[in-house]
Structure 1
Amino acid sequence: MGTIRSHLRRDGTTGYTAQVRRKKKGKTIFNRTATFNTRKEAAGWIRFVEAHIKAPEQLEALLQKQASKSLAEVIRLYTDSLGENVGRSKLQCLSTLTRFDFADNDVTSLTAAQFVEFAKALAKGVQPNPLDPEKIEKNYYALKPRSPATVSAYMSYLGVVLKFAGPLVDLELPEAELIRAREACAHYGIIGASNERKRRPTLEELNKLMAYFVAYSEADPRAVPMHMLVLAAIFLTYRQAEHTRLLWEDIRQAVEDSDATIRIRDLKHPRKKKGNDVDVRLRPEGLAVVCAMPQVNERVFPYHPDTISRRWTEACKVLGIEDLHFHDLRHEGISRLFEMGLGIPEVASQTGHKSWATLQRYAQLKKTGDKYQGWPWLKLIGL
């Protein structure tokens, strides 16, 4: 039998909350409530609900519907539960997944075939539903094909959700179905590893960029000093976001410059997203870049990674430099160290790499010696 509770609202009117509850072996298995303006409406709602759960099969159907969750709901619960521990790329990828129609499916009903079809749609370039349908670009829905590596990233992050989110929703999630789907996708080339990038900037390209950034900075002293970040990327060899987390308090400069060290906060790690702080050695040219920065903030480079990316992309477009990423400067800096004759342990002590398998991706040697010896732009850091 349902119950009705009356309560006084803030505006002085009376509301009536109706509740229908069913228990089994002392445990509540069905509970629905609704609020109405009159007792008559509340009583009518109770009769309607009780009539629909009177038959066992009807109650079972309602319970099943009550317990079900869409894939989008599960993804959101997963990311909300991680809070700040979810990486930026992972959060962006998962948030995008929730905007596909595919994510509206009941998560427990998803099959390997459906996962494969979704992967094929991603590869084809199908776009997710826009965040704001009223503010979309003219060609928003045009197909923008994704590489096997990009599709693989989507499916990999989805796999993590299905592996660990089950206890959050008390459901058996179809992790096994996704594993089968990923194996099929790999076989057909829908997903795959990224191609090893070997692009390195030429001195001519770097000279153009440095001249452009110096002139821009002189015209607007408040602008991000991109010329200094270019030097940092080459001579410190960290990742873009890692540069922006460097703190002045983490620099340990001994009497000899060769003994200087710096702590990289939250160094990128495949499993540990926070607290992976690593101390690395600073070469004289790297230390010179740091010391050339004004101490206006607790951070050495107090800028947002997105701003750095945007300024870099704009500059390359203006200068007609094609297919050059800011991250390519890290490749350039690490390759330079090998070309100068440094061994693996020496290079790793500066870059923070733990394995040769990862470090060797950056060892793209083109010559021997230091090609930056006598480079005019070194005067910016007193060398």
Structure 2
Amino acid sequence: MAFFQVEKRTSNKTGAVTYKCSIRVKSKGKILYSEYRNFSKAQAANAWGRARIAEIELNGIPSQQDELPTLQGLIKFCFEDNNINTTIGRSKRYGLSLISDCNIAKLPIDQLKTKHIIEHCKLRRASGTGASTVATDISFIRWVFKTAKVNFSHEINDSCITEAYDILYSQNLISKSEKRSRRPIELEKLKVGLAERQAQRASGDIPYVEMLDFSILSCMRIGEVCKITWEDLDEENKAVIVRDRKDPRKKSGNHMLVPLIGGAFELVMKQPRKDERIFPYNSRSVTPGFQRVRAKLGIEDLRYHDLRREGASRLFEKGYAIDEVAQVTGHRAMALT
């Protein structure tokens, strides 16, 4: 007898509600087959349960010896599952797509061995990829394993990854991300390049240099810079409300009043009031321009996010206290910068 059951679950950490749909096939009190998936809505869980039961009744109990999907297949499943797909950021999506085209992704997951992980890292390093970027590859693969195990009921063992770490570090195939300081010479080169790009384009285009300076001084992410509005600017107290600021504990509604110190307020007041937003530009247009200039200048391993660290360093150098800088960056612990 095949049946399904939907169980409502609430996370103790975040309070998020999910619905676990469990499929079971029993005979004479013995469970012959079981699987489950998690959903964000009860309706979706029930719909999947009904469809899965109908499929089992039509085709019989799935063989426990069915061939497991490849790593490429698991990545595809994650992209196709709306509940998972909506949680994948741009960087992770790009990284997973790249991994999906690599040789390692063609192997069935039950055939992946430590040697395959090491070989993948060697090939990536040989192509000129940095050790910290390769480490991100491995973290993404491990994320796919964990996600597939919970959501798709695949029996996956990530020991091929965990057992490879010591070798990968010892051979400098992977490394932890370096907290590089973007000091004046490198940033001045970048500003000159951005100014040249700005001058070559039609008037009214993105003011790259001022946005770079503001990003550093305000310690805001580029998405936050492009969202702040004149209405949320407190000119008297030199502060601005940053709405839905990124917080691992809270996906939305995390509005923060951020002080504009160290010259950030003066930069805001220089902007023309031609839109409800102070910097009325698409962040997805700003970042590629920044990346093209960075690549042209040969500045390696520099992300827009690194400007937040530079900004925090400058505020400390100007004598601001830890709690003042934490208010600007939005971090409860300054170690996060």
Aligned to 2:327: 349
Give me the whole-angstrom Cα distance separating, in 2, the residues matched to 1:118 and 1:341: 46
SS at match of 1:261: strand
CA contact (8 A) 2:190 2:294 kept: no
CA contact (8 A) 1:214 1:225 kept: yes
* Cα deviations by residue, 1:96-154 (Å, 9 ceiling, x for unpaired): 11111221211122222322222222222xxxxxxxxxxxxxxxxxxx22222111100
Whether 1:96 aligns to 2:98 is yes
Shift of the 148–332 alpha-carbon distance from structure 1 to 2, 3 Å rule, reads closer
Aligned to 2:203: 221
Give me the whole-angstrom Cα distance separating, in 1, the residues matched to 2:259 and 2:85: 33
RMSD, matched Cα: 3.6
Higher-Rg member (1/2): 1
Give me the whole-angstrom Cα distance separating, in 1, the residues matched to 2:170 and 2:255: 38
Letter paired with 1:277 = N
SS at match of 2:210: helix
SS at match of 1:165: helix
Give me the whole-angstrom Cα distance separating, in 2, the residues matched to 1:326 and 1:336: 18
Shift of the 287–314 alpha-carbon distance from structure 1 to 2, 3 Å rule, reads same
Aligned to 2:237: 256
Aligned to 1:340: 318
Query: Cα distance, 1:86 vs. partner?
Result: 1.0
For residue 157 of structure 1, the aligned residue among 95, 116, 140 is 140
Letter paired with 1:79 = F
* Cα deviations by residue, 1:256-315 (Å, 9 ceiling, x for unpaired): 33xx23215342x5x568437351222273233334334444543233334323433555
Give me the whole-angstrom Cα distance separating, in 2, the residues matched to 1:304 and 1:212: 20
Give me the whole-angstrom Cα distance separating, in 2, the residues matched to 1:344 and 1:169: 45
Aligned to 1:239: 221
With the length of structure 2 as denominator, give the TM-score of the two structures.
0.69
Aligned to 1:71: 71
SS at match of 2:184: coil
Aligned residues: 280
Give me the whole-angstrom Cα distance separating, in 1, the residues matched to 2:331 and 2:87: 22
Percent identical residues: 25
Aligned to 1:166: 149
SS at match of 1:86: coil
Shift of the 168–225 alpha-carbon distance from structure 1 to 2, 3 Å rule, reads same
5+ long unaligned stretches in structure 2: 1-24, 34-59
**How do 1:18-33 and structure 2 match up within 5 A?**
none
For residue 117 of structure 2, the aligned residue among 108, 115, 125 is 115
CA contact (8 A) 2:308 2:329 kept: no
Shift of the 326–149 alpha-carbon distance from structure 1 to 2, 3 Å rule, reads closer
5+ long unaligned stretches in structure 1: 1-22, 30-58, 125-143, 360-383
Letter paired with 1:234 = I
Give me the whole-angstrom Cα distance separating, in 1, the residues matched to 2:295 and 2:152: 47
Query: Cα distance, 1:197 vs. partner?
Result: 1.1
CA contact (8 A) 2:182 2:307 kept: no
